[in-house]
Structure 1
Amino acid sequence: MKQPTRRALIGAAATAFALLSTGVAHAEATAPAAATQAHYGAIFQIDSGSPGAIKKTINNIENLLHDPRLKGKVQVELIANAQGFAAYVKNNGFEQKLQSLQQHGVLLAQCANTLRELHVDRKDLYPFITVVPSGMGEITIREAQGWAYIHPSAPNPGL
């Protein structure tokens, strides 16, 4: 029987290494992300007055808050601008959900520019809403602080 040459052995070893490395890389890429940092921040933007968009955004925030990997590690803010002010208008059906978010430490913020431009009276909003000078300024500051920016799209009517 013919003995394998040194070159053939090296080639076989290289192929085996490549296959094993690919398997390890694939396993790492498909594993869930680990929350290794001590602190995370996420700012959600709502700029639609659609009840479906508001509900979807609130659900996204609740999902984030209930992720066991982030328990006690995540700070969240919801910034409303443009037509998103509807999320904070009294008697809109979202008061209990918003209060629950606030009880979980979520900062509920409204853009003052929107209120002025759309002639919305601050008294028409829930009293627990914080008004900030600018929604875009709030997002910019949070991103500079390392926060994730999340802007859920409008819900798919087919779902």
Structure 2
Amino acid sequence: MKKFSYLFVLAFLCAAVPSMAQTSETGSFQGAQPTKSHYRAVYQLNTADTATIRHALANIQNALNDPRLKGKLEVELVVYGGANIVYRKDKPYFEQDIAKLHKQGVIMAMCENTMRMRKISREELFPIVSYVPSANGELIIRDQEGWTIIRP
């Protein structure tokens, strides 16, 4: 009898768990709801792959356009390594995209370590660019400040 009771309870739980996981009608899930008045995200780019760069810039724009985050989102784009092409005047592939994001308040940050290693001067970069001593240091500090770090 005891064995039968355990089997009955087990069968009940197996049937109940899937229905408990569905807390709403199919198709009515709306994603996470914003519960804070302010959100912060830092996107990091360290590749010269133009598809990855375009994807990252589009992701930033998508986040800025998200109605849940509208007017609540602070964004920084930290560029280092091969991604330095994003901010270079002599390679203006992304100039319009970053200018548009900058007008929306996105901080455009460039790693000074990358600049030294690759012998890039500030004059070679767009004037909207800000500078950080190291990209890794910036990411560490931002993480500890509670920023979400996104790597496309």
TM-score interval w.r.t. the shorter chain?
0.7 to 0.9
The worse-fitting range, judged by mean Cα deviation, of 91-100 and 139-148 is 91-100
Question: C-alpha separation between the residues in 2 aligned to 1:98 and 1:104?
Answer: 10
Kindly name which structure, 1 or 2, has the bigger radius of gyration based on alpha carbons: 1
- Equivalences for residues 56-71 of structure 1 within 5 A: 56-71=55-70
The one-letter amino acid paired with 1:38 is S
Give the match for residue 72 of structure 2. 73
Quick check: 1:108 aligned with 2:120?
no
TM-score (norm 2): 0.82
How many percent identity over aligned positions? 35
Shift of 1:93: 2.0
Deviations 1:90-119 (A, max 9, x none): 142211111110110100000000000111
Could you say if the C-alpha distance between residues 130 and 18 of structure 1 is closer, same or farther in structure 2, counting changes exceeding 3 Å? closer
How many pairs are equivalent?
Answer: 140
Shift of 1:22: 3.4
- Equivalences for residues 110-125 of structure 1 within 5 A: 110-125=110-125
Shift of 1:18: 5.3
TM-score (norm 1): 0.79
Give the match for residue 142 of structure 2. 142
RMSD of aligned Cα (Å): 2.3
Stretches of structure 2 that go unaligned for 5 or more consecutive residues are: none
Give the match for residue 22 of structure 2. 23
Secondary structure of residue in 2 paired with 1:59: helix
Could you say if the C-alpha distance between residues 20 and 151 of structure 1 is closer, same or farther in structure 2, counting changes exceeding 3 Å? closer
Could you say if the C-alpha distance between residues 125 and 24 of structure 1 is closer, same or farther in structure 2, counting changes exceeding 3 Å? same
Deviations 1:39-79 (A, max 9, x none): 11110011011222211110010010000010111100000
